[in-house]
Amino acid sequence: MSAVPLNRIKSTYQFLSARVNNVSPSGIRKFFDLLSSVEDVISLGVGEPDFVTPWQIREAAIYSLEKGYTMYTSNYGLPELRQKLAEHLESQYLGYNPNTELLITTGVSEGLDLALRAILNPGDEVIMPDPCYVAYPACTLLAEGKPVTVPTTEQNDFQIKASDIKTRINHRTKAILIGYPSNPTGAIMPRDELAQIADIADEYNLIVISDEIYGRLVYDVDHVCFASLPRMRDRTILLSGFSKAYAMTGWRIGYAAANHQIIEAMTKIHQYTILCAPITAQMAAIEALKSADNEVEAMVRDYDRRRRFMLEGLKDIGLTCFEPKGAFYTFPSIKVTGMTSEKFAERLLLEEKVAVVPGSAFGQCGEGYIRCCYATSLADIEEALKRMGRFVSKYKQKT
C-alpha cells in the first residue's frame, strides 16, 4: 500500500460534499461528549424505553438463528411479516396491501430518509414543526430539500396549526412532515387539528410524511393515524416501527406504508442501499406482532404512571410544563432561570449530575425548554427531580 497517509493532507474538509457540510451535527451528540466526562449521572436524556425487549420476542429471534435464518430476505421484507403487519394496521387504523404497499425498513430513520429522497427534487420545500426530531431537517437537507419550520408553542400544547402551515406554502412546497406523538415535546395531535392539515394537503396537493413511531404510546387519548383520515391514504407516507412500543430500539426495525407507487420508489433506493432489513430483526418483529400486545399495554400503563409522577414533580419544583399525552418525554420550560437551554443542561449536569437534553437541540422554538425522558426508574426520576429542584431554586430569578 503506497497511498498517501491522511496526515500529509492539510485538510480533508475539501473532500466533503457541500450537502454534508450543510448539515450540522446533532445537538444531542455534542452534549454526549460533555456527559462522558461526568460520573454517576442520572440521565433523563435517553430516547428509548428502559425495558428490555419482551423475552418471547428475543426468544423467537434466537430460535430463528438456531434454525438457520441468516439469509437475505425480499427487499420489501419477509412476506409473513408484511402479512402480519397489514393485519395489525388494519385492526388498528387502516388496511394496506402487504405485497405492494408495505416496506420493512431498518427503523423509521431509514424510512424517513427513503421517503424524502423518493419525493424531493433539489430545492423542494418540506414543512415541519419546530421543535421537531433532529433527523427531520437534517434528512431533508441531505435529500437536497429545504426544511421550512413552523413554530409551535407551549400555549398551543406544541401542536402544529394548519393556519400556520398555510402561510408557509409556496410553489416549491412538496410535503408536510409531522411526527406525533412528538419527540421531543410529547405533544399529540387531536383528530380535528389533523383534519385541517388534511384539507390543506388536499387543497395544495401535498404529500404528508407522518412519523408515528410513538403512536402506541399515548395516554388518556386515542392515537389518530394520519393516513386513516378521509382522502389521506394515498397522499400519506406512514412511517412507524417496533422500537418504542415493543422496546426494540437496537434491533433497527420499522416500516413504511403508502401508495404502491411511492413504496416502489422508496424500495428502489432501499434495494441499492440497504438491500433488506436484518432477517433476525424481522423474525423478532413477527413475534412482536403475534404475541406482545399484553407486554405493550403493561409498558404503556407503566409509562403513564411515571409521566404523571414526573409532571407533578416538575410542578412541585417550580417548572411549568404542558401536559404531554404521548411518547415518553416531558418538555418543561426553564425560563424562570433566565438561562438558555444549553446553559441550563450543562450546568445541571456539572452541578447536580442530572442529564437532560436542551430543547434548542430540536429547533429554535425549543429554546427555553429541556427534554426530560421518563422512561427510567421511578427512584431515578424522584432523585433527579430532587436535584433539579435544588438547582432551580438556586437560579430562579427574583421577580
Partner 1 sequence: MKQIFEILENNARATSQQISKMTGIPVTEVEKAIKQAEKDKTILKYKTMINWSKLGEEQVWAIVEVKVVPQRNVGFDAIAEHIYRFPQARSVYLVSGTYDLAVLVVGKTMQEIAAFVTEKLAPLETVQGTATYFLLKRYKEDGEILEGEGGVKRLPITP
Which stretches of the chain bind partner 1, using CB under 8 A?
Answer: 26, 28, 31-32, 35, 41, 43, 45-48, 50, 52, 133-135, 183, 249, 301, 305-306, 308-309, 312-313, 355, 357, 378, 382
Rounded CA-CA distance 243/299 in Å is 13
Shortest spacing between CB 213 and partner 1, in angstroms: 12
To the nearest 10°, the Cα dihedral for 374, 380, 383, 385?
-10
Q: Which is nearer to partner 1, 46 or 169 (CB)?
A: 46
**Residue 343's beta-bridge partner residues?**
none
Q: Which is nearer to partner 1, 132 or 334 (CB)?
A: 132
Q: Which is nearer to partner 1, 77 or 359 (CB)?
A: 359
Residue 131: cis peptide before it, omega within 30 degrees of 0: yes
Q: Which is nearer to partner 1, 293 or 304 (CB)?
A: 304
Shortest spacing between CB 39 and partner 1, in angstroms: 11
- The residue assigned the cell 403508502 is 258
Q: Which is nearer to partner 1, 48 or 144 (CB)?
A: 48
**212: its cell numbers:** 408515528
Shortest spacing between CB 393 and partner 1, in angstroms: 20
Q: Which is nearer to partner 1, 35 or 269 (CB)?
A: 35
Q: What SS3 state is found at 358? A: strand
